[in-house]
Chains A and B, each alone.
Chain A
């Protein structure tokens, strides 16, 4: 179809669909009026039964933990897919001996490098903190892992490719990624054999309000943090390397 025809066809059907969906949403409860038995049950029981203040964390890693297992493996599969695409394309390209840094290397004086090293440490620490306090405050393994993973970009920007390769060692972090994914499944299997229900919470629950609370929630939270952080580090380093290869090919 020509672009014009396509846009017209799309536009007409999108208007019809929008109208239908607007009409349908009139039958929903009004914004702010939502309530129901599932919500009430979860809000009432989650903290009492699992000693966790952050109810979404309890839902993610315990009540609906099986969903999170699947989501974690979606993440894992996408990272594997990206690595597959890039490794197949690498072929015989040898690593460039003296890669040109973004920005003149000589201009990165010691002071700027130390400053960015500090910023990287800050980002990493924040990531770990957000993940560690998953039971208490908004946060958890997913969010903390994403923050931690982004620190590798800071390393690259401040100190260049070689520092990024050292800090974000590919083999180490792919292994850690796989370990995180595997452990979630293993915890499920182990708790299944121990308690008779897959992902049943069978560890000591701790005191509500303390850092380590929630039993298996905390353990799974930790493994998810490991997996997401390493996954993002692997992804970002792979993309940055691809970008450099493209730049070198264009020169």
Chain B
């Protein structure tokens, strides 16, 4: 296989879905759903194939670098845009393609598509996410980030029957656009200091400069901007509004990978550009990430527990997991990065499966409200079973992959003396898995009293043609089954974890990255062979699962709990009021967040 062709594959994996979207768009009215489904599925399949190829090739031969337009660096200055594909980026791109393929398969049968524009937007979204994961240029990353936002706005506003649905789309549009502006400010400041847009080039330029306030500010702005999309507190408020109104395949993609890609972007920018100059101060930055991560995780879990709308519950669970990912990234160690990567993949698979199950409830029973659905789960037994299995997997039950990721996460935390944090995170994930299990148990068996928030349930419009479905189509069962099976396989197969560990080691190594991008010599992956799971972590994970089930049952039977043991409801009410649904509030919180992050970083880092 000639290396020239191999180097073209990353560019093709971005261009193919975009071109497919352009091909489908003019035929929206005359195209049958079959034709558009076939085109979309084939395009997704092609991208999946290409990105898997990139994953295996880069694991064997090292980072694949391609300079667009043939503009190779001259005298050490990068001129063109480079794609720098290492196993982590390729793996993420493959995961993106997999989830978009699942979303497409979900739409094969019975889903009401307005023309074929849903498929056009999904393909554009796929191209953007692949480009984001594979690129090595700072501004190019921003461009794909903007395309993700534009596609996300259009995808969220797909069901526009009610004004509140459109509110969700507007909240997403306003907050994510502001996030994009913050990133652009950061890029401008960084460009002003280094006159470079290529990550490796910036890294080299910063290695020769002392840190000053402009660099710190640019880092703070880029982090804040990407944390908006990454749903990290206090930038996360748009996520549950968007999930409440977006169609199921879109929710699947948002929670499954889009949010996590933004966090990957922050890590990539840190390790590619800032690591050289910020390395002596990594504790200060890590402290910020850890603090913010813990706060987000707690907030997300508590809010998830307080929800009875299934999609909002799952959305807050995603917020909570985002907090865990940020805390892990804040360790800035290869082991932690590898743990985060596996955690992202495992969480994405399980969360997507849960969203599809929720979507099936919507299409069968016209409701996403836990109280209204109580007991009706028995009419959709396969679906309810998968929902419960997903909840258990989310609680880090072995042998699902989340347990392996959790074990690695705990090891990374313990290595830095932060065992208390890992215990706290285990508690947090038990709370949000408990919320999922609580709703699953109530919906399936009708036991206990569901969350009573005093708000009358409302009927939702199903996403399918017609009033509601009498039976679940096979696509809506096959997708979560396949996702959960994959989550099981990822947890069981040793080679996966070893591969991810090696990818993590490459990810943090700035010198080999610069060597590959600017120097043209790629090294194959180093060896790694850490333990997958020890007996201690096995016990911890099993206890976490038991705790989640206990929390779920406590939620269902809370009227039987003695009054003294009940958790106060005041904090819940305060948190709820914060999530008001008005973008004006969200913009205010965003500004508070930028000020807080900025103050911390400017004070903690040298000026």
Contacts and interface: CB of A to CB of B under 8 A. Distances in A.
B127 interface: yes
Interface stretch (A8-16, A106-114, A139-147): A8-16
Interface stretch (B71-79, B437-445, B479-487, B543-551): B71-79
Interface stretch (A149-157, A159-167, A177-185): A177-185
Contacts of A89: 160
B195 A35 contact: yes
B549 to A, nearest CB: 37
Given A73-B147, A178-B23, A193 B8 contact: yes
A85 interface: yes
Interface residues of B, number: 81
B193 A74 contact: no
A200 B70 CA distance: 6
A64 B587 CA distance: 33
Given A63-B69, A196-B8, A1 B147 contact: no
A246 to B, nearest CB: 15
B70 A73 contact: no
Interface in A47-91: 62-67, 69-71, 73-74, 76-78, 80-81, 83-85, 87-89
A195 B70 contact: yes
B195 A175 contact: no
A17 B591 contact: yes
A10 B583 CA distance: 13
A199 interface: yes
A63 B80 contact: yes
A192 B8 contact: yes
Given A73-B147, A78-B150, A10 B69 contact: no
A9 B25 contact: no
Q: Which of A45, A76, A192, A201 has the most C-beta atoms of chain B within 10 angstroms of its own C-beta? A: A192
Contacts of A39: 195
A21 interface: yes
Contacts of B128: 70, 73
A247 interface: no
B189 interface: yes
B212 A27 contact: yes
A21 B26 CA distance: 45
A76 B151 CA distance: 10
A32 B21 CA distance: 43
Contacts of A117: none
Nearest to A187: B15
A88 B160 contact: yes
B19 interface: yes
A73 B124 contact: yes
A198 B214 contact: no
B588 A63 contact: no
B213 A45 contact: no
Contacts of A197: 7-8, 66-70
A154 B67 CA distance: 44
Interface string A177-218: 111011001101100110111111100000000000000000
Contact of A36 (B25, B71, B194, B218): B194
Contacts of A62: 69, 71
Contacts of A41: 74-75, 77, 79
A12 B580 CA distance: 20
Nearest to A44: B74
B75 to A, nearest CB: 8
A229 to B, nearest CB: 16
A28 B585 contact: no
A24 B214 contact: yes
Contact of B157 (A26, A45, A81): A81
B115 interface: yes
A66 B25 CA distance: 21
A65 to B, nearest CB: 6
A25 B214 CA distance: 6
A20 interface: yes
Interface stretch (B90-98, B136-144, B261-269, B559-567): B136-144
Given A17-B591, A70-B143, A77-B151, A174 B68 contact: no
A60 to B, nearest CB: 12
Contacts of B216: 24
A74 to B, nearest CB: 5
Nearest to A49: B71
A196 B153 CA distance: 36
Contacts of B131: 70
A182 B19 contact: yes
Interface string B425-444: 00000000000000000000
A63 B78 CA distance: 11
Contacts of B28: 83
Contacts of B71: 62-63
A89 B143 CA distance: 30
A148 B81 CA distance: 30
Contact of B22 (A6, A24, A178, A188): A178
B389 interface: no
B496 interface: no
B538 interface: no
B11 interface: yes
Given A76-B25, A193-B8, A28 B189 contact: yes
B129 to A, nearest CB: 12
A83 B565 CA distance: 54
Interface stretch (B303-311, B339-347, B363-371, B595-603): B595-603
Interface string B118-161: 00110010011001000001011001101100110110011010
Interface string B208-220: 0000111111100
Given A10-B588, A76-B25, A178-B23, A69 B18 contact: yes
Contacts of A174: 25-26
A20 B602 contact: yes
Contact of A67 (B11, B139, B217, B577): B139
B154 A198 contact: no
A248 to B, nearest CB: 20
Contact of B124 (A25, A45, A76, A182): A76
9 contacts: A27-B213, A37-B196, A73-B22, A84-B114, A84-B157, A85-B157, A178-B22, A196-B70, A198-B12
- Enumerate the 4 nearest inter-chain pairs by beta-carbon distance, A residue then B residue, closest first: A36-B195, A81-B154, A24-B217, A198-B11
Interface of A: 1, 6-7, 9-10, 12-14, 16-17, 20-21, 23-29, 34-39, 41-42, 45, 62-67, 69-71, 73-74, 76-78, 80-81, 83-85, 87-89, 171, 174-175, 177-179, 181-182, 185-186, 188-189, 192-193, 195-201
Given A64-B81, A74-B143, A198-B69, 6 more contacts: A13-B592, A17-B598, A38-B196, A45-B74, A67-B81, A80-B121
